[in-house]
Structure 1
Amino acid sequence: MTAPLPLTPPPGARAHTLRTGRGDFAVVDHPVAAGVEPRGAALLLPGFTGSKEDFHLLHEPLAARGYRTVAVDGRGQFESEGPPDDESAYLQSELARDVLAQAEALRALLGDGVPLHLLGHSLGGQIARAAVLRDHSPFRSLTLMASGPARISVSQQQRVKLLHDALAVMSMGRVWEAIRAMGPPEEVGGPARGLGGQDHLRRRWLGHKPAQLLATGRQLCTEPDRVGDLAAVPLPYHVLSGERDDTWPLPLLDDMAVRLDARRTVVAGAEHSPNVDRPLPTAEALADFWDTV
């Protein structure tokens, strides 16, 4: 049986390999729209079980506002390589170093003087935070999208445990079939809702390395509160979410924004993935923030 094709990048975007000092990473790269004055660029990090395709609906509206956007599959996510069994490769510190290497490679492509903004969705936000705490100098700002101050909610921890238990005894393919039999994948510890239909979601799931899922799932369940450390870093911050989020309840995100002296955006009609649920107002909120910094 022929594998389904990956979700096609949006018009004007290019899927390619970003070569860095820490390896190669699959990206979707969208330039600034023709005739629009360039205002900067943004590196976009996906969440747990997610991929670069989760940002497809943001590229065009952000390009129209003057921003080049580069969405990346992290190490062991979908189309980026990583060891299947070695969880040490996916320690948060290692993933943070990957982000800094990606930023360095982008800087070489962008040239001097182009502001580079960092955005992380969910797990990607906590990896972005770790990168900024290690070295904030490559970035002009940090946006935490549906990404909270510490570990995920108890209900989400239970879903991650279900996934871990299944991965301990089954192949990725069998886990996918089990998830599908139990209900919507995002409700039973499987891949988050995304674009491209079930064929694409299955292909993306099978592209993930089991060790990546195990290591990052454990991180989500044990992450300490590092907001105080982040607040000491001299960057502008933006905390953006939907109006409902089961992974980190909104009061936690509201409080985190206060502690960071961050801009706070709540996207009406969106849940844990405002980039998918309400991409146009999400893109407008992002560009409005980046314009101010």
Structure 2
Amino acid sequence: MAPAREPLPVRVDEAPPTGPGTGQLTPHHAARIDLPTPTGPLAALRAEARPRADDEPWDAVAVLVPGYSGSKEDFAPLIDPIAHAGIGVLALDLPGQYESPPLPGELDHRPGPLGLLVADVVRTEAAAGRTVLLLGHSFGGLVARAAVLSGAPARGLTLMDSGPGELPMGPRRSRLDILEPVLRRRGLDAVVALREEAGDWEAADPAVAAFLRHRLARSSPAALLGMGDALRGEPDRVPELVAALRGRRLATLVVCGMNDDAWPVTTQRTMADRLEAEFAAVPRAAHSPNVENPQGLLDVLLPTWRTWLREDTLEP
């Protein structure tokens, strides 16, 4: 019998989303909460499982970790579909991202320290009787990997548009190289202005573009510098992860957009082979299938996660 659930953290804002939205502004029924952690609060979105009449929910939660300069809102299009599939959702802002306060220094925002923090969140959920499905997107995949390596008691690990180590040479890495000295010397406002001039948000819905500018402006410079530096220097930790996965029989999925422009799809497929993990590429998507083709991503995630949970219930 699963232990009784601990009370959920106090809700900060239970107001439903207003008006239509796309991408990060997709309406959903999650509550904005603050999660208490040893290093300070983490801003999060929590949605309880909403099972269909013919299907009982699993006592499970998907913990979703965003990438560099991202936030919990990156998972907005996934929240209600996952909850309606009988799995709760807990989407995080890492320290220094959007609504979560930063940690003291740049080094604190690397995958190792952040992984310890995410592992603590996973332990809290598991102690409340929930089976945890941990997903990390891009830089968040490096953090989720570090969480597993530090002993996070997850049932399954999903690495989405992430890689075995540092970001390879290409447009995304070149952007980090360009923006780092601007951020150090001229500050965050100059970075926002530079990205505006580059037309980074021109293709987005105007309301989404306004949100992305606002989110970046609220980010912590120390967090951006620490995460950016880690993206250019993270070692290949796949051998360590293989040992951890085998030792704990942890189910693993590697999924990416078919046109990912960060880590090449071939690199991610090879990583999946090394991990003996399932692999899937989402069509009509690049580096962020969660907002570019959320239904295509859900078509991969939900059947895979249901299989993991069914297998979990069959184990003695």
- Same-fold call, TM > 0.5? yes
Alignment equivalent of 1:121, drawn from 129, 137, 156 = 137
Query: Of 58, 62, 68, which aligns to 2:88?
Result: 68
| 1:157 paired residue among 146, 154, 173 | 173
| CA distance in structure 2 between the aligned counterparts of 1:186 and 1:73, rounded to whole angstroms | 25
Question: Is the 1:29–1:68 contact (alpha carbons within 8 Å) kept by the matching residues of 2?
Answer: yes
The runs of at least 4 aligned residues of structure 1 exceeding 3 Å deviation read 7-11, 193-196
**Paired residue secondary structure (2:41):** strand
C-alpha separation in 2, matches of 1:225 and 1:194:
37
Residues of 2 paired with 1:220 and 1:185: CA distance?
22
Report how many residues are paired.
Answer: 279
Whole-Å Cα distance in 2 between the matches of residues 185 and 231 of structure 1?
Answer: 38
Q: 1:275 to 1:120 in 2, by over 3 A?
A: same
Partner of residue 200 from structure 1, selected from 207, 211, 220 = 211
Q: 2:123 aligns with which of 89, 93, 104?
A: 104
Give the structure-2-normalised TM-score: 0.83
Q: Which residue of 1 is the match for residue 235 of structure 2?
A: 224
Residue 63 of structure 1 deviates from its aligned partner by 1.2
Q: Does structure 1 residue 215 correspond to structure 2 residue 238?
A: no
Distance 2:261 2:26 in 1: 29
- Distance across 2 between alignment mates of 1:16 and 1:145: 24
Tell me which residue corresponds to 1:190. none
1:267 to 1:181, Cα distance in 2 relative to 1, 3 A: same
Of the three residues 272, 280, 285, the one matched with 2:295 is 280
The secondary structure found in structure 1 opposite 2:135 is: strand
- Offset at residue 50 of structure 1 (A): 0.5
Alignment of 1:243-254 (within 5 A): 243-254=258-269
Secondary structure at the counterpart of residue 163 of structure 2: coil
More relative contact order, 1 or 2 (CA 8 Å, 6+ apart): 1
Match of 2:198 in 1: 182
Aligned residue in 1 for 2:28: 11
1:27 is aligned to 44
- Tell me how large the CA RMSD over aligned residues is: 2.2
Name the counterpart of 1:173. Answer: 189
Shift of 1:161: 0.8
SS in 1 for 2:95: coil
Could you tell me the TM-score, scaled by structure 1's length?
0.89
Q: Per-residue displacement from partner, 1:210-263 (whole Å, max 9, x unpaired)? A: 011111111111111111111112311100001111110111011011111111
Question: Unaligned 5+ residue runs, structure 2?
Answer: 1-17, 19-23, 309-316
Given that 1:9 and 1:28 are in contact with CA atoms closer than 8 Å, whether structure 2 keeps it comes out as no
Residue 72 of structure 2 corresponds to residue 57 of structure 1: no
